[in-house]
Amino acid sequence: MKIIMLGAPGAGKGTQAKQIAAKYNIPHVSTGDIFRANIKEGTALGMEAKSYMDKGQLVPDELTVKILLDRVAKDDCKNGYVLDGFPRTIPQAEVLDEAVTKLSEKIDYAINVDVPDENIIRRMSGRRACVKCGATYHIVNVPPKKEGICDACGEALIVRDDDKEETVKARLATYHEQTQPLIDYYSAKGILKEVDGTKDMNDVFADIVAILG
Ligand code: ADP
Ligand code: ADP
Ligand code: ZN
């Protein structure tokens, strides 16, 4: 099964994608996580990506597409994957379609996690992330057992550099301009599914499972 998660920054794509990955036994592929891992290791790719991420802008398609195609070509993606944060532009979606079609395969579902902008700003200020294992928490909604420490791996949690309010506003503007058009793109292909992302995260997941079967 090949699934794409759509939604504004902070809509809960990552939270849901991790649960989907666990239940359906497919890898969770997050371009944002790949960039952050590169930033942490100080690679050239990480440096370049960071210059865009810190401004709330998208990393250029050319760079992002290459990384994504390399990732989904790996063996563990043979039986499918859940993409979180890719595609974010129409050209990215077209490249993905082309790559999947070349293998005589298809994307099964594009799930749009719908959350209005005003909820997003509130959510992001409470987000805490583990850069070591990719786990995500929220100081009120999903607190770790021990404050500031990842339950899964013991690493210190961070506030992402791009979760500051000004940057979140810039990311929302980028989203509306460049990523939201993908909703119509996948709707036209007949694979778009909408879920209400303002619900409790377990209810959102139940709605997704009802769609995926
Ligand atoms: P969120 O889950 O909050 O939307 P992500 O971790 O997916 O954030 O992405 C963080 C940042 O990484 C984005 O704001 C953007 O700068 C960059 N990024 C991630 N995925 C892509 C992509 N597919 N295309 C371009 N930039 C991307
Ligand atoms: P995205 O990957 O779309 O940027 P995340 O999955 O990282 O979003 O979620 C953003 C923040 O909101 C995190 O702190 C997360 O714990 C929290 N969160 C996720 N889903 C919900 C929900 N349904 N209700 C309340 N908070 C949520
Ligand atoms: Zn961790």
- The rounded Å distance from CA 11 to ligand 2 centre is 6
Q: pLDDT value at position 202? A: 97
Is 78 noted as a catalytic residue in this protein? no
Is 88 noted as a catalytic residue in this protein? yes
Low-confidence ranges of the chain (pLDDT < 50): none
Q: pLDDT value at position 91? A: 98
Q: pLDDT value at position 122? A: 87
Whole-prediction pTM? 0.95
Q: pLDDT value at position 194? A: 98
* Catalytic residue, candidates 2, 18, 127, 193: 127
Which atom of ligand 2 has the smallest separation from the CA of 9?
Answer: 4
Measured between alpha carbons, how far is 124 from 165 in angstroms, rounded to an integer?
A: 8
Tell me the Ramachandran region of residue 159: left when phi exceeds 0, alpha when psi lies from -120 to 50, beta otherwise: beta
- The rounded Å distance from CA 104 to ligand 2 centre is 34
- The rounded Å distance from CA 7 to ligand 3 centre is 24
Is 71 noted as a catalytic residue in this protein? no
Q: Residue 174 in contact with residue 58, Cβ under 8 Å?
A: yes
Provide the 3-class DSSP secondary structure of residue 203: helix
pLDDT tens digits, one per residue of 129-145: 999 999 999 999 999 99
Q: pLDDT value at position 83? A: 98
